[in-house]
Amino acid sequence: MKVTYYGVRGSCPCSSDRQRRYGGNTSCVLVEADREPPVVLDLGTGLRPLGEALERPLRQSGVPLAATAFLTHLHYDHILGLPFFAPLREPGALLDIYGPRQPGQPLSEVLTDAVKPPFFPIHLGEFRGDIRVHEVDGTGDLTVGGFTVRARHVPHRGETLGFRIEHGGRSLAYLPDHQAPADRRAIDDRVLELCEDVDLLIHDAQYTDDEFLTRADWGHSTIAYAVHVALESGAKRLSLFHHDPAHGDRDIDQMLVRARRLAPRRSVEVAAAAEGTTVELEEA
């Protein structure tokens, strides 16, 4: 598998010289494997540059997009890129979206209501491509091409899923929004199930310990808790993700140094996710 980051920021997109190296687009990750349709994790503002990257080869091949997206939840920073995804402007394009079942209203209606006037100039149904929405209850596994995908509910504000994706004997877990408990020690059994022995764990690491003291119920994790989850679950690599919009490149550099001190290299390799970077997970 090949994992490429197109959006790594949390809560709100941002753009300044302070966020140049890690990037300011919100959550969006591309997962690729040989001879497989692309898999997209979340639909944040990183979906716009991802669409641009996909457009040229699609036009050269003359074949419209066929892709699958896994949506963790419906906060703005995870859906804002959807109406800006250029491949959906082409007839015949197809995007299957799997996301969490919502209380009181079908997921398809919630997404449709988010992309229509007065919030956006046109309705989602006016795009030339097609979108198929599938509700996930967080109890089973899915098969998409050669990918096996496990979805489980994880602690956060509102209905939120985490995902585990396996292909060719390799695995990744994606938990961009994960509420750390008050003691920052306990780990939900469903989280451990998703993360057990994964080759790559992409995990919420939005706050420092000091910041968490005043934001303990905002739905996110500290860098120390992300390391704790990685160590307890046996993850081989940890990618710090969902960077706070107030954090500049130097802030994230310092958080990465702290995380690496907490994680002996022989136990887990730690990096901070940056836009445009790729992690290769070679087949076993």
Count of other CB atoms within 10 angstroms of residue 35: 6
Within 62-130, residue ranges assigned H as helices are 107-114
Please give the residue that has the higher pLDDT: either 59 or 73.
73
∠ at Cα 4 (245, 200), nearest 5°?
Answer: 90
Distance CA 100, CA 111 (A): 12
Distance CA 72, CA 24 (A): 19
| Inter-residue contact 47 to 54 (CB < 8 Å) | no
User: pLDDT per residue over 195-213, tens digit each?
Assistant: 999 999 999 999 999 999 9
Packed helices 223-233 and 249-262: angle between N→C axes, nearest 10 degrees = 40
Q: 267 falls in which pLDDT band (50, 70, 90)? A: confident
Task: Taking the CA atoms of 40, 206, 114 and 15 in sequence, report the sign of the dihedral they define.
Answer: negative
Q: 95 falls in which pLDDT band (50, 70, 90)? A: very high
pTM value > 0.85? yes
- Which tokens hold the place of 191? 């989280």
The proportion of the chain whose per-residue pLDDT surpasses 90, expressed as a percent, equals 93
Write out the H or E segment, with its range, that includes residue 203: strand 200-204
Please give the residue that has the higher pLDDT: either 282 or 251.
251
The proportion of the chain whose per-residue pLDDT surpasses 70, expressed as a percent, equals 99
User: pLDDT per residue over 113-140, tens digit each?
Assistant: 999 999 999 999 999 999 999 999 999 8
Residue 266: the pLDDT is 74
Cα 274 to chain centroid, rounded: 13
Domains of the chain: 2-279 (3.60.15.10)
Residue 47: the pLDDT is 98
Cα 271 to chain centroid, rounded: 16
Is pLDDT at 282 greater than 90 in this prediction?
no
User: pLDDT per residue over 213-225, tens digit each?
Assistant: 999 999 999 999 9
The number of residues making up the chain comes to 284
Q: 171 falls in which pLDDT band (50, 70, 90)? A: very high
- 6-17: string of b/e by CB count within 10 Å (b at 16+)? bbbbbbebbeee
Q: 284 falls in which pLDDT band (50, 70, 90)? A: low
- The rounded radius of gyration (Å) of the Cα atoms in the chain is 18
Residue 215: the pLDDT is 95
Matching residue, tokens 């050269």: 60
